[in-house]
Amino acid sequence: MSDDESSGHPPIPQGRLVLVRHGETEWSRSGQHTGVTDLPLLPEGEDAARSVRPVLQEFSFVHVRCSPLRRAQHTAELAGLEVDTIDEDLREWDYGAYEGITTAQIREELGYPWTVFEHGVAPGETRGETVEEVAARASRVLREVWSQLHEGDVALVGHGHALRILTGVYLRSEPRFGRNLEFATGSVCVLGHHHEDPVIQAWSRRR
């Protein structure tokens, strides 16, 4: 019997959850909200994706899951990851009417210091999502990969806001915890456990 079982706690996975944010695109460079728009990586974004290969080689991946958007899939390829599953739940937040618009532009239009985590989005060409809906998708992803984390490390390749919200869910915090995290394009974050507590082991690594 393991220490976790003998203590009454459910078994804690030994694998680490490795989050990879896609490399830079034209809109991530300019600060435009990029949810459903399927933009390619810039050359600098491709370079950043290649540069995290040495970081990812530190892990023994038993499973790699990726957003369907091409900026994420191309990042996975350039970073040397072999994707097992394309997961719709790893898509970026659907920003609705704020797709393609910067925070500064939204604040000028609304007349107050809007943030996506606090005030949410408005419907546009798409309905948009609440932070709770993005968190529900994150919860489904975490349920899907939980058994694999007992076998080894798991990589999730996706997008800044969605992965920040997923981190909040993983840490058993509320989804808006993600507003306190800055996740650079073309970087890697590592989630694990200290005893039975979920923890951040590394954040926004590029080297």
Annotated active-site positions, please? 22, 92
Distance (Å, whole) CA 112 – CA 109: 8
Residues 6+ apart with CB under 8 A from 185: 21, 22, 23, 24, 25, 28, 45, 48, 160
| Identity at 85, one-letter amino acid code | T
In this structure, what token pair is assigned to residue 113?
A: 């210091």
Residue 202, strand partner residues = 190
- Residues 23/42, Cβ–Cβ less than 8 Å: yes
